[in-house]
Amino acid sequence: DETIGQKASGWTRWPGGWPEEISTSLIDAVFSARATYETKHGKGVLPLVRCWRDANGKAVNDLALLAKQISEVGPATWATRFGSSQHSPGRRTEDPGGPTKAAAVLEAAEKLTAQGVRSADHISDETAAAVKATLREVRGVGYATVNYFLILLGRPGVKPDRMIHRFITEATGKAFSDAEAEQLVTQVAGTLGVASHVLEHAMWSYESAKASR
Q: Report residue 57's pLDDT band, with 50, 70 and 90 as the boundaries.
A: very high
Q: Report residue 5's pLDDT band, with 50, 70 and 90 as the boundaries.
A: confident
Q: Report residue 186's pLDDT band, with 50, 70 and 90 as the boundaries.
A: very high
Give the residue with greater pLDDT, 212 vs 16. Answer: 16
Q: Measured between alpha carbons, how far is residue 38 from residues 2, 10, 49 in Å? A: 25, 21, 11
Task: Quote the pTM value.
Answer: 0.94
Average pLDDT score, the chain: 95
Q: Check whether 1 has a pLDDT greater than 80.
A: no
Give the residue with greater pLDDT, 132 vs 1. Answer: 132
User: Quick one: pLDDT at residue 209?
Assistant: 86
Tell me what the mean pLDDT of segment 89-108 comes to: 95
User: Quick one: pLDDT at residue 70?
Assistant: 98
Q: Check whether 39 has a pLDDT greater than 90.
A: no
**pLDDT tens digit sequence for 24-36:** 999 999 999 999 9
**pLDDT tens digit sequence for 150-166:** 999 999 999 999 999 99
